[in-house]
């Protein structure tokens, strides 16, 4: 049986992962409207990945005879200034998610919940990748500035993620 404190924290994490999925979908729409289909595709893939994270947490609660309590998902921002602005927000969001997962891991250690620690190790590793990916794209966007040609080239590069 899943500890009530961990169950509540995992339910909060499910909500945060669903919010992240929703946020990245809003960002995808922003890019689609700006005719940057590669950026839009990258964000759609990211949205699906975040939904998958929520479902992984969901499955862990169910598997341990816990209770999933879904909460309201906050409305994400829909307007952005630039691709740099978007990826600054992506990085900030991923850093918040990392902090939540770290706190959840600390709780699992405190409660001696070994199955949760094992499950959360996957997320700890995943968040390293998520932050690195967002940071790398942000730094590249800062380097290229407002160059339309460079933005188009990057758009084509990001489109490849959805075609794997």
CA distance 25 to 105: 28
Question: What is residue 146's predicted lDDT score, i.e. its pLDDT?
Answer: 85
Give the CATH number for residue 112: 1.20.1260.10
Model-wide pTM > 0.85? yes
Mean per-residue pLDDT, 99-106: 97
**Domain count across the chain:** 1
Instruction: Write out the residue range of the structural domain in which residue 152 sits.
Output: 4-162
Question: What is residue 25's predicted lDDT score, i.e. its pLDDT?
Answer: 98
Residue 63 has pLDDT above 50, yes or no: yes
> What are 105-143's pLDDT values in tens digits?
999 999 999 999 999 999 999 999 999 999 999 999 999
CA distances from 118 to 10, 58, 108, 123 (A): 14, 15, 10, 9
The whole-chain average pLDDT of the chain stands at 95
CA dihedral over 142, 23, 162, 119, signed as positive or negative:
positive
Contact (Cβ atoms closer than 8 angstroms) between residue 78 and residue 26: yes
> What are 1-28's pLDDT values in tens digits?
789 999 999 999 999 999 999 999 999 9
> What are 68-80's pLDDT values in tens digits?
999 999 999 999 9
């Amino acid at each position: 049986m899943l500890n009530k404190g961990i169950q509540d924290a995992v339910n909060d994490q499910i909500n945060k992962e669903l919010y992240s999925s929703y946020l990245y979908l809003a960002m995808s729409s922003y890019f689609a409207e700006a005719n940057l289909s590669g950026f839009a595709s990258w964000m759609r893939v990211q949205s699906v990945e975040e939904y998958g994270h929520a479902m992984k947490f969901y499955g862990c609660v169910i598997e341990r005879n816990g209770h999933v309590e879904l909460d309201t998902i906050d409305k994400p921002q829909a307007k952005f200034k630039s691709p740099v602005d978007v990826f600054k927000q992506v990085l900030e969001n991923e850093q918040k998610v990392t902090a939540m997962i770290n706190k959840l891991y600390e709780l699992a250690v405190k409660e001696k919940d070994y199955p949760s620690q094992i499950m959360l190790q996957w997320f700890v590793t995943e968040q390293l990748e998520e932050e690195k990916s967002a940071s790398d794209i942000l730094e590249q966007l800062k380097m290229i500035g407002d160059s339309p040609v460079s933005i188009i080239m990057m758009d084509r590069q990001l489109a490849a993620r959805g075609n794997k």
